[in-house]
Amino acid sequence: MAERKKYPILIAIPHASTFVPKELKDLMLFNDFQIRKQSDLYTGEIFDVPNAYVVKAKISRLVVDVNRAPDDIEMEYKLYHEGVVVSVDEFGEQIYKTPPDLENIFGRVEKYHEPFHKEIDELSKKAKFLIDAHSLWNIGPKMRSDTGMERADIVLGNRDYTTCSRDTTLKIYNFFKDKGFSVKINEPYSGKYILGYHCSRRGLPGMQIEINRKLYMNEKTLRPKKREIKKLRKIIIELTKVINEEIGKYENMGNRSF
């Protein structure tokens, strides 16, 4: 049976994995539930659509965060810092019994961070738009700028309109609004290394999409709402179709910036 033709759309899913190698888990204060809590649970299902190219990180963000610059390292382990390896989570909890040294951090970057971005680089040759797929807590956690504040259903990030056009941003914004979702742009997240490197720096248009976890899971128990996950997946499949149609329109207008 012939493989289904894919749209020229690449979906990067950086934070869905909960995998922590045993030798690293032994260094952590976190149990399995806390590790799961730090991942973007179920985004690997919601954004795993058949009509796009999909790249999933295979490691927990607590081991190495593939959505941070590989040289973004902070050695003051008692402070919250959104670097490539974090030692304090967004709730202010210390992660490690024994914080990793520089050699250990560089080893993680080489083993997990670099292959993820190399895979994106390869698939980018077939893509004309990138979706950076995430989820976010309904209420801003302790260490965030919006602590205690309720968040929108959908948060779109384009690094202050540097990774795709205003027209494309509004198209995606209105797509979600028409589905009945509340939507914010660049608030509280505008995008980090994935958009910065592959879009702003390398010229592939793209957008970060954050889905509020209250829509598809119990935020206290982390249990999924399977029916809602299926609905959201169908919506993302529909969105890729809309984006693909927009790509075609822009190409017919003479390759204007998408």
Q: How many CA atoms lie within 13 A of 17 on its CB side?
A: 20
Q: What is the pTM of this model?
A: 0.93
The per-residue pLDDT string of the chain (258 residues; one tens digit each, 9 = 90 and over) reads 445 789 999 999 999 999 999 999 999 999 999 999 999 999 999 999 999 999 999 999 999 999 999 999 876 655 566 789 988 888 888 899 888 889 999 999 999 999 999 999 999 999 999 999 999 999 998 777 788 899 999 999 999 999 999 999 999 999 999 999 999 999 999 999 999 999 998 889 999 999 999 999 999 999 999 999 999 999 999 999 999 998 887 666 555 556
Contact 12, 194 (CB under 8 A): yes
Closest CA to 157 of 195, 186, 196: 186
**Residue 236 and residue 233: Cα distance in Å, rounded?**
5
Angle between helices 226-252 and 166-178 (to 10 degrees): 150
What is the rounded distance in angstroms from the CA atom of residue 117 to the CA atom of residue 197? 9
Tell me the DSSP string of 152-219: -SEEEE-TTTTSS-HHHHHHHHHHHHHTT--EEESSS----HHHIIIIIIT---EEEEEEEGGGTB-T
Q: What is the CATH number of domain 9-71+109-252?
A: 3.40.630.40
For residue 184, CA distances in Å to 40, 137, 153, 176 come to 19, 14, 8, 10
Where exactly are the structural domains of the chain?
A: 9-71+109-252
